[in-house]
Amino acid sequence: EAQVTQNPRYLITVTGKKLTVTCSQNMNHEYMSWYRQDPGLGLRQIYYSMNVEVTDKGDVPEGYKVSRKEKRNFPLILESPSPNQTSLYFCASSSSGRAGEQYFGPGTRLTVT
Amino acid sequence: GQSLEQPSEVTAVEGAIVQINCTYQTSGFYGLSWYQQHDGGAPTFLSYNALDGLEETGRFSSFLSRSDSYGYLLLQELQMKDSASYFCAALDSNYQLIWGAGTKLIIKP
């Protein structure tokens, strides 16, 4: 089954404790992206990757890191989480010629206390 | 700046037709996408318009007018399962999707 997976689905952590949210897709997509969703704000892009070893900042990259060492994986790293990073996070992927058609993972609900 | 405007909430009756409008302002523009998101779920892709005109996919249709920087999503024969939030998103010159804040569609029996 073609899908984007994320782990964990839910995470409660404390300020300053490094964490990683994994994202993997099995569709051989070149493009991958991380979004955060907050009430009333729609989806805001954090980082994106056009292909392996190619990453770039989105609209809200502060406090986040990413890497793209393999085509299928695109982990999101929070080196020192803060309460304002409490949010719902989505990973998405698409083929390079169809960036308007993105496939989303199930989401990770993160709470930082 | 880049922005998309869509109504925050729309109410309709089961079996009816509803139109959700979206106006956009982006730095460069390749096309307009629409996504559906049920409460607690992930966004799912509905349609993408790169050219002016109407595209139909079953009960859903999407329209784009590039000269007016405007598009809409049309949902026909509304069913209760269509109750969800609908997002328009514009593909900009950096090949990134810029998202509207979403329209919550409430369907009454």
* pLDDT for A61 beyond 80: yes
Q: Do B45 and A101 touch (CB under 8 A)?
A: yes
**Contacting residues of A for B95, CB less than 8 Å apart:** 50, 99
Q: Do A102 and B31 touch (CB under 8 A)?
A: no
Q: Who's near B76: CB < 8 A, 6+ residues apart?
A: B17, B59, B60, B61
| Predicted confidence (pLDDT) per residue in B63-92, tens digit | 999 999 999 999 999 999 999 999 999 998
CA distance A79 to chain B (A): 25
Nearest to A42 among B41, B44, B102 (CB): B102
Judged by a CB distance cut-off of 8 A, whether residue B102 touches chain A is yes
Q: What share of chain B is helix, strand, coil (3-state, %, to 5)?
A: 5, 60, 40
Q: What is the mean pLDDT of chain B?
A: 95
Joined tokens for residue A77? 């790293």
| Predicted confidence (pLDDT) per residue in A64-93, tens digit | 999 999 999 999 999 999 999 999 999 999
Instruction: Give the strand pairing for A10-13 and A108-112.
Output: parallel
Q: Do A100 and B87 touch (CB under 8 A)?
A: no
Q: Where are the alpha helices (DSSP H) in A3-107?
A: none
* pLDDT for A98 beyond 90: no
Which pLDDT score is estimated for A13? 96
Judged by a CB distance cut-off of 8 A, whether residue B91 touches chain A is yes
**Contacting residues of B for A105, CB less than 8 Å apart:** 42
* pLDDT for B13 beyond 80: yes
